[in-house]
Amino acid sequence: MDGHDGLAERFEEHRTHLRAVAYRMLGSLGEADDAVQEAWLRLSRSDTSGVENLGGWLTAVVARVCLDMLRSRKSRREEALDEHLPDPIDGIDPGADPEQAVLLADSIGPALLVVLETLAPAERLAFVLHDMFAVPFEEIAPIVGRSPAAARQLASRARRRVQGMATAPSADLTRKREVVEAFLAASRNGNFDALLALLDPDVVLRADSAAVRMGASSEVRGVQTVATTFSGRAQAAQLALVNGAVGAVWAQGGQPRVVFNFTITDGKIVGIDLLADPELLGQLDWEALGG
């Protein structure tokens, strides 16, 4: 028992760091906690008597767990909430260790997390571990199953993407706001031609199970069908900033009932997600923009 307690105590010394790594990898506080818990389970079942650097060993375990979770997201091809709306830093337990809050908040904001969501899982892992936590490529390589040189290339590609998208975040936010604002206006006014102009030909509208129970279709594809779905609708939806991303919210009594999450590429709306799950909505950080 003493051995187990000693191992648990050593693990706790690394928990803050591990959660910071997992949060940057996943953009979700809940999933980060799941990844850290999985690392503890693996540690408790392993013989680590020969491990000289327990922190490095645990970091690699958490990274592998996060990589599996990211790949699972992609393979399911689900438009989950945390893929586009990363958990805000102020979602951290107010009673949490101040050091933990600093580690999570340092250099991480909604804009960067949204950029990280666009990276391939292996790119995100290489970038996060190397650029944010100074893990050598020789240690990253076996996690992603590549050579150190290939791992370096993954991080380099990710770095270019992050730097490119971070050069003008306010301008990008402004452009997306204009698109969403125009979409809401066209929807309310029943301007079918304007909707067609704003939507990508292959646009996909998806709704979570809670939104489906409220009457939405689980999935609608194609510009004509999606435009028809919204024409004359969205009367009560208001332009909003949701976890740092431009979207729309239908709220009652100051509480969100449905969140409209938009995926915009080259000025066209390629995806719209209707999110109405009460538990998820209760975790959102949002503010009306008045459009």
Instruction: Render pLDDT for 62-77 as a digit per residue (tens, 0 to 9).
Output: 999 999 998 887 665 4
Using DSSP, how many helices (H) and how many strands (E) does the chain show? 15, 7
> CA 218, 229, 281, 31 torsion: positive or negative?
positive
pLDDT in the model for residue 236:
82
Q: How far apart are CA 216 and CA 219, in angstroms?
A: 9
Burial of 94 (0-12, 13-18, 19+ CB in 10 A): exposed
Closest of 227, 237, 236, 239 to residue 190, by C-alpha: 227
Q: How far apart are CA 181 and CA 291, in angstroms?
A: 6
Q: What domains does the chain contain, in order, with CATH numbers?
A: 2-166 (1.20.140), 169-288 (3.10.450.50)
Q: How far apart are CA 271 and CA 204, in angstroms?
A: 5
SS3 assignment, position 261:
strand
What residue ranges of the chain have pLDDT lower than 50? Answer: 1-2, 77-84, 89-107, 168
Q: Is the pTM of this model over 0.95?
A: no
Q: How far apart are CA 262 and CA 163, in angstroms?
A: 23
Strands (E), 37-92: none
Helices (H), 88-219: 98-105, 110-116, 121-127, 133, 137-144, 148-166, 169-189, 192-198, 209-213
* DSSP annotation string for 189-237: HT-HHHHHHHEEEEEEEEE-HHHHHTT--SEEESHHHHHHHHTT--TT-
pLDDT in the model for residue 162:
77
Rg over alpha carbons for the chain, rounded to the nearest Å, is: 21
